[in-house]
A and B are shown apart, each in its own frame.
Chain A
Amino acid sequence: MFRVYLDHMATTPLDREALAAMLPFLENSFGNPSRIYDLGSEAKEAIEHARESVARLINASPGEIIFTSSGAEANNLAIRGLAKANERRGMHVITSEIEHHSTLNAFRSLQKEGYVVTFLPVNSYGEVSVEKLESAITDRTTLVSVMLANYEVGTLQAVKEIAEIAHEKGALVHTDAVAAAGNIPVDVRALDVDALSLSAHTMYGPKGVGALYLREGLRIVPLIYSGIQEEGRRGGTENVAGIVGFGKAAELALKHLDKVERVRWLRDKLIEGVLEVEKVELTGHPEKRLPNHASFIVESVDGEALMMALSFEGIYIGNGTACISQVLRASPILLAMGYPAQRAQCSAIFTLGRETSKRDIEYVLSKFPGVVEKLRQISPLWKG
């Protein structure tokens, strides 16, 4: 069966070049990078080469990159590690209501430990309120964390503006760029952020490896204690093959950034076609969004049912996040944007990749209306 994968926010396929770069480190080059003999030093060199590639992707210097086991760990390390390192200055920290759970739950863990956490609201486009940030921030605020792009509605946040406000009050700024990196240019200097999270598997690298950019000169309390790995900031013998694959993926992501306009064009075609079906609405910001991202509310069609039904046609899409939505079936992000619970269940997310073709989009548009109609016929909510 013809297969069209449009769930690149959940994960991307592993690029063949990244896989090829990884293989030697799963076979003969198995040495521990902490050993100074050749088998160890070749692994160490490969890690340092990957560090340079990841740094280059976001305009950081290699010493500012800390490899982690995931985007989630990078978020946890940034949030807990920076809050703890600056605890003497204050115990107020700020984030938004529409962050990934790895961010939200890291902040909730701080809340339990006595920190005051402000969760900034968003408007109906999913944009974090800069005015609310201005009124919430104080001289005791040590950290502000707002994602660069939201994976569920694609909306881009005003991180540069947020950083300016935060820095004026002496607070540090972290941004989760897991959904953004590889899809739009990401420059830590231009954004003026102090910390930024990445994950390899959303940019054609392997799963189980991420990175935290941490501005040179900043202190961070570790999350995982061991020894000298990652300059004493993240313990554990390195995932050498994973890191090498990440480095190659970062190199390719930079190289392929010029494909963005083609992806945007295909995405716009998809939006246009999907919106021809009645009672379908685009979610997120119409312009200030990731170029590969199209998300909708398909009235009276349960997001999970739609995802499953399309998969039977060989079409893979996303439907928001699990978490409480497993029980409530409603996307917490759409709820935060002001959608009523019933409509927030009807989320459909199409995220394109650099391998997506015009034929893929045409295939999706040939199947989508029929699948929606069938599901609506059996939906108790559909009034026709």
Chain B
Amino acid sequence: MTEQKQPEIKFVEGIVPDAVEDVVYRMCPMHLMRLEERMKELKKGQILELQTDYEGALVDIPDWCRKTGNELIGVEDTGEFFKFYIKKTVD
């Protein structure tokens, strides 16, 4: 087995978002599709809270942020699902 390098993720609490997208229990790749759609609607500087129970998002969403140049502020783990906070930093 090859060793997978996990990107470092900051766990946060109490971030106040400008928009919320709930994709809890929706199947992969809905978290990425909705992320892309919702980020398009936001203005630079605004924050999206994306809720998902999909563990793979812990890899995918940091990847997406790196690729698109947006900022992943951090992740809150509610125990039932994750809340990803993504700040729009590019137009």
Contact = CB atoms under 8 A, between A and B. Distances in A.
Interface of A: 81, 85, 88, 217, 219-222, 225-228, 231-233, 235
A298 B33 CA distance: 59
Nearest to B32: A228
A217 B23 CA distance: 10
B27 A222 contact: yes
A88 B80 contact: yes
30 contacts: A81-B25, A85-B24, A85-B25, A88-B80, A217-B22, A219-B22, A219-B24, A219-B25, A220-B25, A221-B25, A222-B25, A222-B27, A225-B27, A226-B27, A227-B27, A227-B28, A227-B29, A228-B27, A228-B29, A228-B33, A231-B26, A231-B30, A232-B26, A232-B27, A232-B28, A232-B30, A233-B25, A233-B26, A233-B27, A235-B27
Contacts of A219: 22, 24-25
Interface of B: 22-30, 33, 80
Given A219-B25, A231-B30, 13 more contacts: A219-B22, A222-B25, A225-B27, A226-B27, A227-B27, A227-B28, A228-B30, A228-B33, A232-B23, A232-B27, A233-B25, A233-B26, A235-B27
Contacts of A225: 27
Which 6 residue pairs are nearest across A and B when measured between Cβ atoms?
Answer: A232-B26, A232-B30, A232-B27, A221-B25, A219-B24, A219-B25
B32 to A, nearest CB: 10
A225 B28 CA distance: 9
B56 to A, nearest CB: 13
A232 B33 CA distance: 10
A88 B23 CA distance: 18
Contacts of A233: 25-27
A232 B30 CA distance: 6
B80 to A, nearest CB: 6
A90 to B, nearest CB: 14
A326 to B, nearest CB: 37
Contacts of B29: 227-228
A233 B24 CA distance: 10
A379 B27 CA distance: 57
A148 B58 CA distance: 43
Contacts of B33: 228
A78 to B, nearest CB: 14
Contacts of A85: 24-25
A112 B5 CA distance: 40
A233 B33 CA distance: 14
A66 to B, nearest CB: 11
